[in-house]
Chains A and B, each alone.
Chain A
Amino acid sequence: MIDAVGNPQSLLLLGGTSEIGLAVAAKYAKRRPLRVVLAARPSERLDKAADDLRAAGATVSTVEFDALDFDSHAAVLDKAFGDGDIDITVLAFGLLGDAEQAWQDHGRAVELAQVNYTAPVSVGVLLAERLRRQGHGRVVALSSVAGERVRRSNFVYGSTKAGMDGFYLGLGEALRGDGISVTVVRPGFVKTKMTEGMKPAPLSATADQVADVVVSAVAKRKELVWAPAPLRVLFSILRHVPRPIFRRLPI
């Protein structure tokens, strides 16, 4: 059970090698004893992530999870819930890829759409079912400011995040009466392996800083947060910039 100040006893990380997701798990593990389930494809990175969390004092198990294998998702979640209630689920899997390749390579575009949108929908529906059954739970969906106003520079990725963002905001509304809260997190540029080699955008953050935002948002049962917070102001302005001007902005 989650406690009054938002500390969970158990956490499921879908995308078990996500740096932001692992930083969230590490923060909770530092606060109180935590059981973590990491769902990801088996890899050395996954094993290392599990070992690191164990070293931080958490009890860790792993579940094999392939975002593109939609038919397996129900079984994956059943396994994840097999050892008891899941207090917090962090949805942290996704692909970024090369933006120019993404809109010109059919296979790549479909893959991005499936991993970043279809899979979160598939998992979201199954997750909601299980959380309603246990009567509680919090969900953290890692979205992106890229979905808030989709830009030419990465519109395939941006459009998948826009869809995913909308789905989880809607899921949060649908689950309001069930005592389940969904927090959609919109980070800006985060310096992680996913963005390695890219030039950091203004208001960039580290995975650790995003994790701080997540922990505080979960405690307050917030529905939507930006990381860092000033991005909210920036994007609420950008959202209304007329297209002829918007396309000329160096973003």
Chain B
Amino acid sequence: MKPQKLTGWGRTAPTTAQVVHTADVRAIAEAVKHAGPRGVIARGLGRSYGDPAQNAGGTVIDMTALNRIHRVDAEAGTVDVDAGVSLDTLMRALLPFGLWLPVLPGTRQVTVGGAIGSDIHGKAHHVEGSFGDHISELDLLTADGEVATLTPADDLFWATVGGMGLTGVVLRATLHLNHVETAYFLVDTEQLGSLDELMARQSVDDEKYVESVSWFDAVTTGPHLGRGLLTRANHATLDDLPAKRRRHPLRFEAPQLLVVPDLFPPGLLNKVTGRVFSELWYRKSPTKMGAVQNITQFLHPLDMFGEWNRGYGPHGFLQYQYVVPFGAEDVIRHTVRRMTETGKVSALNVLKRFGDGNRAPLSFPMKGWTLCVDLPVGAGVHELCEELDELVLAAGGRHYLAKESRATPEVIARGYPRLDEWRKVRASVDPEGKFASDMSRRLELS
């Protein structure tokens, strides 16, 4: 077996590992049992930005071959799936039954196992919570090579939700689903001229919508600092659709326009292109209520572009995402102001209000504001992130491990005060520390 070079979606810190790609659960168990001194970790579609799905010098189990949908119960609204099934595949399979995944992140290109390991969230968090809140049962392959079936009554279940794959390999899960009449959204878009207006508006009526998110401009300075678009939506009912679409209300409209080629020079996203993009993006969506949009238009515009991470050039990029409690709006303001001051051009800037978090010790969401920006790797990024880390932690916030790629162990330990509790559960099933990743080494998680 030849070692394979792996990175996260940010394409920043490549390392090599022996990659096992199999749909045979016994072979996966063997790979875990016989993992060498540098351990083993499961990997899905590699959409985490940093290094949680790579394991330098060790073993990585590519789970994407384990991809069967075992059973759909349309009436009860549940599905029993293998961990390697992507949310894209799952959505396409479920829509004809009028079933909908309650938690969808910014891309459908993630596996069920990855969604559990990162306890992912989406624009519906304030209503639906995170991915772990919709699992009734999961099969976990532990370090001893045995498979445990876990339910939300087990501590190990919650250590696995958000546990970044470090408790074992999720093989299979049963998920709760929502019933929908159509595959469309009824979208309200509001253009707001400043960050304060944006936050104030988002704080009103959010609970009336299932989906809610803001994009903000991190380039423009002055009185329009942090201007943005607030988009909020509910599932369209049959009656909401125009007659033309009523014939196929559950059709999955998800075109992929192109695959981005790997030839972009570094620095393509600079102050000029960033300003142009921000202006166009802001202008393209004037305030408009009740527009009917499909899944890709509303939820996953980036899925129209395959391998879009290549657009950031060969040095890669990072995504900086944190959550701070309500009341810490100053941290958000400071972030946007510092982004514009330091000339760090970010195009994909997201602001969202989270609802309550769940029981998982390492789950990211908690009640408050979450902010996410993209930063191409370059001079000053480290310093900016360090400065923001301190503000986030002082406000009682924390960073999202699925995006994390550059913090220190101390930053994560402060942000996740229940880390030791999680470590205890993990140590009870993996005393030798067989499950390991570049992230677990870098952040000294286990």
- Where the two chains meet, the residues of A that have a C-beta atom closer than 8 Å to any C-beta of B are 1-7, 9, 31-33, 85, 132-136, 177-179, 216, 219-221
Contacts and interface: CB of A to CB of B under 8 A. Distances in A.
A221 B315 contact: yes
A7 B382 contact: yes
A134 B12 CA distance: 18
A177 B442 contact: no
A178 B3 contact: yes
A1 B56 contact: yes
Given A2-B13, A4-B50, A7-B382, A179 B438 contact: no
Interface in B120-167: none
A33 B6 CA distance: 25
Contacts of B407: 3
Interface string B10-26: 10111111000000000
B405 to A, nearest CB: 4
Contacts of B3: 132, 135, 177-178
Given A5-B381, A5-B382, A134 B442 contact: no
A133 B17 CA distance: 10
Contact of B405 (A3, A178, A216): A3
A1 B13 contact: yes
Nearest to B444: A9
Contacts of B314: 220-221
5 closest A-B pairs by beta carbon, nearest first, are A135-B57, A135-B56, A4-B405, A4-B12, A136-B15
A87 to B, nearest CB: 9
Contacts of B439: 1
24 contacts: A1-B439, A3-B50, A3-B405, A3-B407, A4-B318, A4-B377, A5-B12, A5-B377, A5-B381, A5-B382, A5-B385, A9-B442, A132-B16, A135-B3, A135-B55, A136-B13, A136-B16, A136-B57, A178-B5, A178-B16, A179-B5, A179-B6, A179-B14, A220-B314
Contacts of A1: 13, 15, 51, 56, 438-439, 441-442
A207 to B, nearest CB: 20
B356 to A, nearest CB: 30
Interface in B286-300: none
Interface string B36-65: 001000000000011100011110000000
B379 interface: yes
A85 B39 CA distance: 14
A135 B58 contact: yes
Nearest to B405: A4
Contact of A220 (B10, B50, B315, B410): B315
Nearest to B7: A179
Contacts of A31: 382
A225 to B, nearest CB: 13
A135 B15 contact: yes
A139 B438 CA distance: 18
B415 interface: no
Contacts of A216: 379
Nearest to B58: A135
Contacts of A220: 266, 314-315, 377-378
Interface string B51-86: 100011110000000000000000000000000000
User: Which of B13, B315, B378, B405 has its CB near the most chain A CB atoms (within 10 A)?
Assistant: B13
Given A1-B438, A1-B442, A179 B56 contact: yes
Contacts of A5: 12, 318, 377, 381-382, 385, 406
Interface in B277-324: 314-316, 318
B342 interface: no
A219 B380 CA distance: 12
Interface string B369-394: 00000000111011001000000000
A19 B343 CA distance: 33
A52 to B, nearest CB: 22
A247 to B, nearest CB: 39
A3 B57 CA distance: 16
B408 interface: yes
Nearest to A31: B382
A3 B406 contact: yes
Contacts of B56: 1, 85, 134-136, 179
B388 to A, nearest CB: 13
A80 B12 CA distance: 26
Nearest to B438: A1
B15 A179 contact: yes
Contacts of B5: 177-179
A42 B442 CA distance: 31
Interface in B330-378: 377-378
Given A134-B56, A221-B315, A85 B441 contact: yes
A6 B385 CA distance: 13
A155 B14 CA distance: 38
A85 B410 CA distance: 19
Nearest to A3: B406
A131 to B, nearest CB: 9
Nearest to B12: A4
Contacts of B382: 5-7, 31
Given A4-B405, A5-B381, 14 more contacts: A1-B439, A2-B13, A4-B13, A4-B50, A5-B12, A9-B442, A134-B38, A134-B56, A135-B15, A135-B17, A135-B57, A136-B14, A216-B379, A219-B377
A109 to B, nearest CB: 40
B376 to A, nearest CB: 11
